[in-house]
Structure 1
Amino acid sequence: MFKVGLTGGIGSGKSSAVRYFQSLGIKVLDADQIARQIVQAGQPALQQIKQEFGESALDESGALNRSWMREQIFTEPESKDRLEAITHPLIRQRIIQAMAEPHVTDYLIVDIPLLIEKAYQSLFDAVLVVDCLPEQQIKRVQQRDGSDIALIKGIMKAQASRGERQQSATHVLDNSDTLVHLHQQIDRLHQAFLKLAGSAVR
């Protein structure tokens, strides 16, 4: 199975790209969904998180207490690294397992926001980056959820830079124009991936 890792900064328009690939019949795995699953009640990661952070890290249902953890990370930034040291190896393992399962699709896309930051490139035959100007990222996130500019810039600073993403990409989608323009690029890329997928199975 030909595998494509898809990524992009906050507000770059990854979701728009994912929806269009799905409309073309392509299976897309969501790393964020996997990340949410591993911190649900009863999952092995929760015991490790409890040991690391204490009872307060879990809510009444036994799942991750997200509001408490956000506050913890805000007051003690190193808590983020401690949490990710537990969760990210499990997320990576689940992604690999999910990719190995049989899928009815011409090729497989995995949407991973932190693909570059967590060095997932080697898992994929192609790395697709959704790209736009930084000022467009800020404007889109503000329009989407009304976030403060300083918060958006802080998130962008914590992510891989635009240059780092482009350098790691085998393919780039320019999402600085209209949705029609994005879809036209995806149509061309879809045909290219179909050819590459066909070559991969020969």
Structure 2
Amino acid sequence: MLQIGVTGGIGSGKSVVCRVFETLGVPVYYADERAKWLTEHDPILKADVRRVLGNQAYDPLGRYNRAWVASQVFADPNLLTQLNAVIHPRVWADTAAWVNQHADKPYVVKEAALMGAANPGHGIDAVIVVTAPVDLRIERIRQRDPHRSETEIRNIIDRQVSDDDRLKIADYVLVNDEHTLLLPQVVALHEQFLSR
């Protein structure tokens, strides 16, 4: 079974691309959403997060204190490394279990904001990078998150992997600039993956 990674910067449209794949009957694993779910519900991960960050990582009801955690790890790169060291293995295990559930499919898609180069160790056979001009990405984010300022959005974009670095790992590039039709690009890849 092929495992296809989909990545792109905030506002690029990678979620739209993944929804198209889902409409075509392809299972999609949303790594970032699953990581959020696991930090709330996986007892092993919750214990590990508390060990790294302390009890303030969760509120009295046991909900992940996302804003507080973000303020801690963005101020301390070493702490972020430690947090990722406990979260990533749990997400990888969850991904592997999910892939096994879909072993009867010709291919699956894994969506993630961060994605390493395709290699057997990552379980990714090919990487699709979704691109869009930065100004369009900012406009999209402001439409869906009107409380965010342009400065805040640009800061998020600047903290993410650069488009140039993403393109270095791309096996396929989908252009989502609102001039080039996106749907035919996705369908063409779908047909290509089915024929492999």
Query: TM-score, with normalisation over the residues of structure 1?
Result: 0.85
What is the root-mean-square deviation of aligned Cα atoms in Å? 1.9
- d(CA) in 2 for partners of 1:11 and 1:71? 23
Q: Do 2:117 and 2:169's aligned partners in 1 also have CA atoms closer than 8 Å? A: no
Tell me the distance in 1 between the aligned counterparts of 2:41 and 2:19. 29
- Structure 1's unaligned 5+ residue stretches are 197-202
- Structure 2: which 5+ residue stretches go unaligned? none
Deviation at 1:103, TM superposition (A): 4.3
Give a deviation string over 1:131-152, Cα, whole Å, max 9, x none: 1112221121112212212221
Superposition pairs for residues 100-115 of structure 1, below 5 Å?
Answer: 100-115=100-115
Aligned equivalents of 1:7, 1:42: Cα separation in 2:
25
Contact residue 41 and residue 61 of structure 1 kept, 8 A? no
Q: CA deviation at 1:104?
A: 4.8
Comparing 100-109 with 48-57, greater Cα deviation is found at: 100-109
- Answering whether residue 32 of structure 2 is matched by residue 13 of structure 1, we say no
The amino acid across from 1:149 in the alignment is E
For the structure 1 residues 99 and 93, does the alpha-carbon distance in structure 2 shift closer, same or farther, using more than 3 Å as the test? same
SS in 1 for 2:40: coil
Q: Tell me the secondary structure at the aligned position of residue 38 of structure 1.
A: helix
The corresponding residue for 2:58 is: 58
Identity over aligned pairs, percent? 31
Q: How many pairs were matched up?
A: 191
- Map 1:42-191; keep pairs closer than 5 Å: 42-73=42-73, 76-78=75-77, 79-115=79-115, 119=116, 121-122=118-119, 123-146=123-146, 147-178=148-179, 181-191=181-191
CA distance in 2, matches of 1:2, 1:112: 16
2:144 maps to a residue whose letter is: R
Does the CA-based 8 Å contact 1:7-1:130 persist in structure 2?
yes
Contact 2:57-2:68 at 8 Å conserved across structures = yes
Q: Secondary structure at the match of 2:67?
A: helix
Once the 2 structures are TM-superposed, how far is the Cα of residue 72 of structure 1 from its aligned partner? 2.7
1:163/1:177 Cα in 2 relative to 1: closer, same or farther (>3 Å)? same
Contact persistence 1:42–1:63 (CA under 8 A): no
**TM-score scaled to structure 2, two decimals?**
0.88
